[in-house]
Structure 1
Amino acid sequence: MQDTEMQPALAALLDQHRAGLRLVIGNKNYSSWSMRPWVLMKAFGIPFEEIRILLNQPDTTNRIAEYSAAGRVPVLLAGEITVWDSLAICEYLAEQFSILNLWPEDVAARATARSICAEMHSGFSSLRFDMPMNIRADLFGKGRTIGSQADIGRISEIWEDCLALYGAHEFLFGPFSIADAYFAPVVMRFRTYGVSLAPALQAYVDRVIAHPAVAMWVREALMETEFMPGHDNRHDD
């Protein structure tokens, strides 16, 4: 579809969903899973109402249960439909807003993008545990374990391959996509913990941080005042 033909269709699609999407998230400073669909929706101009629930509070479990029996954030509420997993949310949005090409258009690129998001979704447990997302913190050199170093190496390999094959020196598959939103919390971790990267990968990190949707999330994370001891005290000397 040509751009001139897409504009009315896109406007109608966005208007259709303007009052119907609500995204339940946790603290922006800590909730890496919440960051993924939030950044994606902001990046593509998909309108939604944000419902923010503070994590690790006495009422957290009950508040999340109002929206999902799974007991975790994020949760997307789309009318009568509830989607309660970050990757499922991204897939739902890709289906509903197919005109926006949230996944890469090329078949091979799209298959690779789905594969690396699935790997991110189910793997890298050492990185998650040893380097929890904490955007406000400066933990340079912390969290280095055999497991986290192996995870950093694998992520670097993924980024190098995608940028070389599809990225055209921009994002992982050229234009910003679900894949970049999915790795945005990793970018935040690498910045917080001062992970040293090859110049091309550091340039990618810088581009992600500079993306308006990511920058907005970071600004709002920096404005938060809540602290989660499990994250903030993990690397105390």
Structure 2
Amino acid sequence: MQETEIHPALAAIMHDQRSPLSLVIGNKNYSSWSMRPWLVLKAFGIPFEEIRVLLGRPDTTARISEYSLAGKVPVLISKDLTVWDSLAICEFLADQYRSLPLWPQDVAARAHARSICAEMHSGFSSLRFDMPMNIRAVLPGKGRTMGAQADIGRICEIWEDCLARYGAHGYLFGGFSIADAYFAPVVMRFRSYEVSLAPALQAYVERVIQHPAVALWIREAEAEPEVFPAHDARLEKSP
């Protein structure tokens, strides 16, 4: 699917005249949570306005609070409705655009996909802290704490299981879905930190990187001039 291509199922619902969606995100280089719903919107050709708030600035919290009192990105705005939290945004989009295969159609596969996204959402704290997302960075071997290694092992188990059961078309549940968008920031980490993977998992990583929506996010992250000094300093101190 090309960057500007509209998913065929979307044409049937364009007549609904829904007001445009707005997605508030942080820097593309750093904001893993922002990446997830942005990819879902882009991958399925759902029109939206992007509002970028720079992270690590004196006015960051105040600016985000203009959109959500939670004070964090991402935030989705639809008419008078505000949805914060990346997983809630993805579920909202799946409800609004039921004709699009954001989740797998099969009930069991859909439950499995929701389970691994929930695990990603609430877990893997060591990986998040010790190997934070920095798309522009090349950091082979950094952040390999025992906790991060355990998280990497569990993620590999998840991917192997999903690809074996459902991955006939190359993604975790067949076609690109919320599940792949949810693990895309992990793919970015594995790329930056040069995590060694089994051939089938490395092939999955490359497939995600080459997806048009992911490739666009990467290009725009690499083109960002801004830096987040506190974030980068922590990377330099990591083992």
TM-score normalized with structure 1 length: 0.94
* In 2, Cα distance between equivalents of 1:169 and 1:157: 19
> Cα RMSD over matched residues?
1.4
* In 2, Cα distance between equivalents of 1:17 and 1:84: 23
CA contact (8 A) 2:169 2:175 kept: no
SS of 2:50's partner is strand
Say whether 1:92 aligns with 2:85: no
CA contact (8 A) 1:20 1:78 kept: yes
* In 2, Cα distance between equivalents of 1:121 and 1:14: 31
For 2:34, give the aligned amino acid. S
For 1:216, give the aligned amino acid. L
Say whether 1:60 aligns with 2:63: no
- CA-to-aligned-CA distance 1:79-127 (integer Å, 9 cap, x gap): 0110001000000000000100200001111000000000000000000
| Correspondences of 1:83-122 after superposition (within 5 Å) | 83-122=83-122
Deviation at 1:10, TM superposition (A): 3.0
Deviation at 1:169, TM superposition (A): 5.0
SS of 1:98's partner is coil
Show the counterpart of 1:235: 235
* In 1, Cα distance between equivalents of 2:31 and 2:15: 29
Show the counterpart of 1:3: none
TM-score normalized with structure 2 length: 0.93
CA contact (8 A) 1:18 1:48 kept: no
Runs of 4+ that moved beyond 3 A: 14-19
SS of 1:99's partner is coil
Deviation at 1:228, TM superposition (A): 1.1
Show the counterpart of 1:31: 31
CA contact (8 A) 1:19 1:48 kept: no
CA contact (8 A) 2:19 2:78 kept: no
Show the counterpart of 1:188: 188
For 1:23, give the aligned amino acid. L
Gaps of 5+ in 1: 1-5
Gaps of 5+ in 2: 1-6
